[in-house]
A and B are shown apart, each in its own frame.
Chain A
Amino acid sequence: MSVDREVVRHVAALARLRLSADQETLFTRQLADIVGYAGVLERLPDTPVDPADGAAPLRTDAVVNGDRADALLAAAPDRDGDRLRVPAVLGDPG
């Protein structure tokens, strides 16, 4: 599993990070080092793993009306009334 420039570009796009050419070079080297180091994990045998334990607590279905929408939306960078405004959304989500 190698980390080359193409992989770095693809991963940066998935992560919504805009890398300059220099950063691409730097990250390619650094990530290759780190991922190379993480290759130690390959030595671990593939023994079956017990499923994780624990149980999610279940919350009673009741409306808790904080009525704090104003405070919560106060930090929105761009609004139109109570709606958040963003540049046009094209197409549907993934």
Chain B
Amino acid sequence: MKKIISRITWGGLLYALAALPLHAQDKKEKGTLRLEVAYDQKNDDLPVIRVVARAKVKKKFKPVAGVAVNVFLDHENAEGFLGQVETRADGTNHVPLTPAAAKYWRDHHHFTFIAAVTNNENYEDASAQIDISKARIELLVNEKDSTRTLTAKVLAHNDTAWVPVPGAEVKFVAKRYFSDLPVGGNAVATDDQGLATADYKLTLPGDAEGKIFVAAKLDENETYGTIQTTVPVKWGTPVPPDHLFAQRTLWATRDKTPLWLLIFPNLIIVTVWGFIFYLVYLIVKIRNLGKTTS
């Protein structure tokens, strides 16, 4: 009897120990999420709203993937709902404007974008918002006596007209494959006319005609968000296009098979199949011999 009681006691103890982490897991505390919302607009097109989610891991905020973020325009309700996105591995994702929101954006000049996370399994509710005034950049390119300059004019809408924005930090860049290459050093502040100018002194490879793209941008401006205007210029070094696909190469289409690959394998194929047809001929000959003899 003592043995049975002892076994039940030990069994119960082990079960309690095993169950302990499960209960501990049930009561797991939710993490704190830091949300950011940004406004990106290029070439007077419709803007996209960028959200970033970060959470504290080992005392550092790191990007979090898989967090569903709701994005709103002006009102955090069904009317202002722009969409829901799930953050990617780098913690970011984008929301385009819905057709209704696009119309609203065209008709208005001051907006509030709100990003919110609610009822997440792992994180407490979080939200962030950004107030934006509509602005645009006009980019002028000039080439005189081998001096090339870029002039940006930053304009903001004051509910009645577009007016110049003084003191805005404009960055001038050349567009490359993976990032923007700064033109003329640091950002340039606009003057009272809303103008900022930079000299272009780079030597960059362009397309066959030497075409490259240069841009002027306000980078995460507190009032206007990120705004960028890009224009093509023939300031690059012309690079003749690589027409290897049009030549006889291993990666070309079937009508451009390299000659050596056409000649030698086909010689082998014809020789081998020539022998095979000869063997079939031998079968016919053997049959005919048999028929003649019999």
| A and B physically associate | no
Give A contacts to B, CB under 8 Å.
Answer: none
